[in-house]
Amino acid sequence: MPSGSDTTAEAAPTGPDADRPGQRTTGSAATPPTGGAEGGDAVEGRDAVEGGEPAATVSAEPAASGAAYAASGAASAEPGAASAPSGGERRPARLRRLGLLARREARRSALAAVSGLTLGLAFPPFGVWPLSLVAVAALALLTHGRTARQGAWTGFAFGLPFFLLLLKWLSVVGWDAVVGLSVIEAAFLALMGAGLALVSRLPVPALWPLWTACLWVAEEWARDRVPFGGFPWGRLAFANTGSPYTPLAALGGAPLVTFGVALTGGALAGTALALWRLRGAGASRRAAPCPPPGSRPSRPP
Please check whether residue 268 lies inside any domain of the structure. Answer: yes
* Residue 293 is assigned to a structural domain of this protein: no
Cα separation, 139 vs 107, in Å, equals: 14
Per-residue pLDDT of the chain (301 residues; tens, 9 = 90+): 344 444 333 444 444 444 444 444 334 334 444 444 344 444 344 443 344 444 444 344 444 444 444 444 444 444 444 454 555 567 788 788 878 878 888 999 999 999 999 999 999 999 999 999 999 999 999 999 999 999 999 999 999 999 999 999 999 999 999 999 999 999 999 999 999 999 999 999 899 999 999 999 999 999 999 888 899 899 999 999 999 999 999 999 999 999 999 999 999 999 999 999 888 766 666 665 655 555 555 554 4
The number of folded domains in the chain is 1
Full domain range(s) for residue 201 = 107-279
Amino acid identity for residue 200 in this structure: S
Tell whether 266 is covered by a domain. yes
Are 222 and 185 a contacting pair, CB within 8 Å?
no
Of the candidates 242, 240, 285, 284, the residue with the CA atom closest to the CA atom of residue 264: 240
Q: What is the pLDDT of residue 162?
A: 98
Which amino acid is present at 23?
Q
> How high is the pLDDT of residue 60?
43
In a domain, 29, yes or no: no
What pLDDT is stored for residue 31 in this prediction?
Answer: 43
Could you tell me if residue 196 is inside a domain? Answer: yes
Provide the 10 A C-beta neighbour count for residue 83. Answer: 7
Burial readout 199-218 (b: 16 or more C-beta within 10 A, e: otherwise): bbeeeeeeebbbbbbbbbbe
Name the helix (H) or strand (E) containing 35.
Answer: none
The verdict on residue 62 lying in a domain is no
Q: What pLDDT was estimated at residue 114?
A: 98
Q: Say what the pLDDT of residue 103 is.
A: 86
Angstrom distances, CA of residue 31 to CA of 17, 116, 241: 19, 121, 139
What's the Rg (C-alpha) of the chain?
Answer: 50
Under DSSP, the state recorded for 24 is -
190, 225 contact by CB (below 8 A)? no
pTM greater than 0.75: no
Residue 93: the pLDDT is 81
Contact predicate 279/295, CB 8 Å: no
- DSSP per residue over 258-292, as a string? HHHHHHHHHHHHHHHHHHHHHHHHHHHHHHSPPPP
Q: What is the pLDDT of residue 75?
A: 45
> Would you call 126 helix, strand, or coil by DSSP?
coil
First-to-last alpha carbon distance for the chain, in angstroms, is 114
Type of residue at 215: L
| Whole-number Å distance between alpha carbons of 299 and 4 | 113
Identify the three-state secondary structure at position 241.
coil
Residue 38 identity (one-letter amino acid):
E
Amino acid occupying residue 203: P
Residue 145: inside a domain, yes or no? yes
Contact 136, 265 (CB under 8 A): yes
